[in-house]
Amino acid sequence: IWLGSYMSGGVGFTQYATAAYTDNILDEFTYYGMDYIKDKYKVDWKNPSPSDKVKPTQDIVNDIATEVTLNAMEQYEQFPTTMEDHFGGSQRAGVIAAASGPTAAIATGNSNAGPNGWYLSMLLHKDGWSRLGFFGYDLQDQCGSANSLSIRGDEGAIGEVRG
């Protein structure tokens, strides 16, 4: 997270600044995700309730993040001016992930589902379009997926270990 938070294109900066310069494209991708979780999982994001949250399993996160990511990639291909507007792979990867991660987190009510959806989106994007940024500057977009489900001993007595 540190690398992504302090380098353009990673989780922190992108989530902070993307909405200001994406011309409502991020909104469109996110609303698609909200419609998807409402139609498929009956999660009413406008009127949140603990009773309509989906169990936060990896399969659910995979489904939601994959659907939102593939829709966004199709939109970029269908409307090439969006690719021109979001010049550079890291911008596109960040916009797509900024829709995919929060959609998974909102559907499950689980904050850990968000980064998992975010980083899955990055991997799907790289798999579909071969790279995320220019000249190998996509490290910050990929570095988190290996750690998002890990238990790292240096974090102290985390909840999973405490019980």
DSSP annotation string for 89-105? HHHHHHHHHHHHHHHHH
If pLDDT is split at 50, 70 and 90, which confidence band does 5 have?
very low
Does residue 110 lie in a domain region? Answer: yes
The answer to the question of residue 159 being in a domain is: no
| Segment 92-98 mean pLDDT | 87
Residue 117 in this model has a pLDDT that exceeds 50? yes
Whether pLDDT at 78 is above 60: yes
CATH number at residue 111: 1.20.840.10
Mean predicted confidence (pLDDT) in 48-75: 94
Rounded CA-CA distance 126/140 in Å is 13
% residues pLDDT > 70 (the chain): 66
Q: How many domains does the chain have?
A: 1
Residue type, 56: P
Is residue 82, in this structure, part of any structural domain at all?
yes
**pLDDT tens column, 121-132:** 988 988 888 766
31 close to 72: Cβ distance less than 8 angstroms: no
Mean pLDDT of the chain: 79
Calculate mean pLDDT across residues 76-80: 92
In terms of pLDDT, which residue wins out, 145 or 154?
145
Residue 71 covered by a domain: yes
Token pair listed for 93: 């990867």
pTM for the structure as a whole: 0.78
> Would you place residue 143 in the very low, low, confident or very high pLDDT band (cuts 50, 70, 90)?
low
Range of the domain at 114: 2-147
Q: 154 lies in a domain? A: no
Q: Is residue 155 part of a domain?
A: no
Distance from C-alpha of 110 to C-alpha of 61, rounded to nearest angstrom: 10
6 within domain boundaries? yes
CA pair distance 76, 68, nearest whole angstrom: 12
Cα distances (angstroms) measured from residue 55 to each of 107, 108, 109, 147, 150: 9, 6, 9, 21, 20
On whether residue 161 sits in a domain, the answer given is no
